[in-house]
Amino acid sequence: MSIKVHFLNVGFGDCTIVHWPKRTRADGTGKSERIMIFDIYHSENHDEYENVVDYYKANFKNNDGSIKTIFRFVCSHPHQDHICGLAKLFNDSDINILNFWDLEHEWEPEDFEGHPTHKEDWEKYQEVRSSSDITIISTKREDTSLKYWNDEEDRIIVLSPSKELIKKAHYKEDGTKRDVKDIPIDEMSYALLIKVNSRKIILAGDGRATPVWEDIYASCKNQIKNCTILKAGHHGQEASFHEDSIKEMKPELIVFSNSEACDKEDGAEDSYLEAVPDATILKTCEYGTLIAHIPFNSDQPVVVFNSSGQQVY
Q: What is the pLDDT of residue 114?
A: 82
Per-residue pLDDT of the chain (313 residues; tens, 9 = 90+): 899 999 999 998 999 999 999 876 656 666 789 999 999 998 777 788 999 999 999 999 999 999 999 999 999 999 999 999 999 999 999 999 999 999 999 999 999 988 889 999 999 999 999 999 999 999 999 999 988 899 888 999 999 999 999 999 999 999 999 999 999 999 999 999 999 999 999 999 999 999 999 999 999 999 999 999 999 999 999 999 999 999 999 999 999 999 998 888 889 999 999 999 999 999 999 999 999 999 988 889 999 999 999 999 9
Question: Domain ranges in the chain?
Answer: 2-306
Burial 47-76 (b: 16+ CB within 10 A, else e): eebbbbbebbeebbeeeeeebbebbbbbbb
| Domain 2-306, CATH number (from 3.40.50.970, 3.40.720.10, 3.60.15.10, 3.40.50.1460) | 3.60.15.10
As a whole number of angstroms, the longest Cα–Cα distance in the chain is 59
Question: What pLDDT does residue 28 have?
Answer: 62
pLDDT value of residue 25 = 64
What pLDDT is recorded for position 26? 58
- Indicate if the alpha-carbon torsion angle 152, 154, 160, 163 is positive or negative: negative
